[in-house]
Amino acid sequence: MPSILLATLMLFSTLAISEPLKSAQFKRQHIKAMSVVAPIWDGYTNKDGSGLYWDIFRAIYEPTGIKVATKNVPWNRAMKMVAKYHTYNAIVGEYRDTEEQVIFPIYPIDVEYMSALSKNKSGLEWQGLASLKGKTIGWIKDYEVIPKGKRNFKLKEFRNIEQGVKLLNAGKIDFLIDEWDEIAAVMQKNKMPSENYLINEMPEGTDVYAAFSIDNLSRELIAIYNERIPELVASGELTKIYEKWDTGEMPESVLNLAH
């Protein structure tokens, strides 16, 4: 048999064998482990592997025989590891309107509320979005906290929260809007006396999700996620996890599964 023909037949034989194996590896009975990454968020993704988000992932996957490995990595690097390099299967703490190359399960994992930081001025009473009218508001570029059509204030964007705090202290913005944990961290870092500031919760929360790499393995992991969340709600186990940590909030779409 000519060597070229023999090599061709061997190639097709290899492909015929490897293709079923390739598709079979994504069947759930073959999945033995999955990995999820996020920054260290106290009470959510603790370094020791405890926390609300880590407990939810374990409750979803480990009863199905899939071991969950958790890792703490700063956000930007963690996202690259999931969206670009597929080093980890999922990252937790993302919004659905992201431009990152990731895919999502049906159900969110938490609800996040932005906070509005202002200087403590006597007589200033927080009235939700009405308090922003006619003021100068600052948030990180591209956050889009409030849609353009609903803005009755002047917006000043900045690159990071440190720059935002400087603008607030200089009187160039009236309110700084960001996530509560980011505000708390920068206040602690800069030794900002809490009595000199007011921190108020924005009225509308945003659902937070686990985001997965775009590949067949992740699609199967997402299918398991979507099946297990209703089961955990029905058994009451998910409620117990949220109550245990008392940090996050069960999203409305998940709560509705109980009715």
3-class SS string, the chain = CCHHHHHHHHHHHHHHHHHHHHHHCCCHHHCCEEEEEECCECCCECCCCCCHHHHHHHHHHHHHCCEEEEEECCHHHHHHHHHCCCCCCEEEEECCCCCCCCECCCCCCEEECEEEEEECCCCCCCECEHHHCCCEEEEECCCCCCCHHHCCCEEEEECCHHHHHHHHHCCCCCEEEEEHHHHHHHHHHCCCCHHHEEEEECCCCEEEEEEECCCHHHHHHHHHHHHHHHHHHHHCHHHHHHHHHCCCCCCHHHHHHHC
38-89: pLDDT as tens digits: 999 989 999 999 999 999 999 999 999 999 999 999 998 999 999 999 999 9
Whole-number Å distance between alpha carbons of 69 and 143 = 31
**pTM beyond 0.85:** no
Residue 14's pLDDT is: 45
Residue 22's pLDDT is: 45
pLDDT lower than 70: segments of the chain:
1-26, 122-124
Residue 122's pLDDT is: 60
Residue 179's pLDDT is: 86
Other C-beta atoms closer than 10 Å to the C-beta of 79 total: 22
Whole-number Å distance between alpha carbons of 136 and 156 = 7
170: left (phi over 0), alpha (psi -120 to 50) or beta: alpha
Whole-number Å distance between alpha carbons of 236 and 81 = 33
CA 60 to chain centre: 17
Whole-number Å distance between alpha carbons of 148 and 10 = 61
Residue 259's pLDDT is: 83
Residue 203's pLDDT is: 85
What would the two tokens of residue 22 be? 């390739």
Q: Which residues are bridge partners to 211 per DSSP?
A: 91
Residue 161's pLDDT is: 93
What are the C-alpha distances in Å from 58 to residues 43, 66, 74, 120, 238? Answer: 15, 9, 21, 43, 11
Q: Which residues of 146-184 are buried (b: 16+ CB within 10 A; e: fewer)?
A: beeeeeebebeebeebeebbebbeeeebbbbbbbebbbb
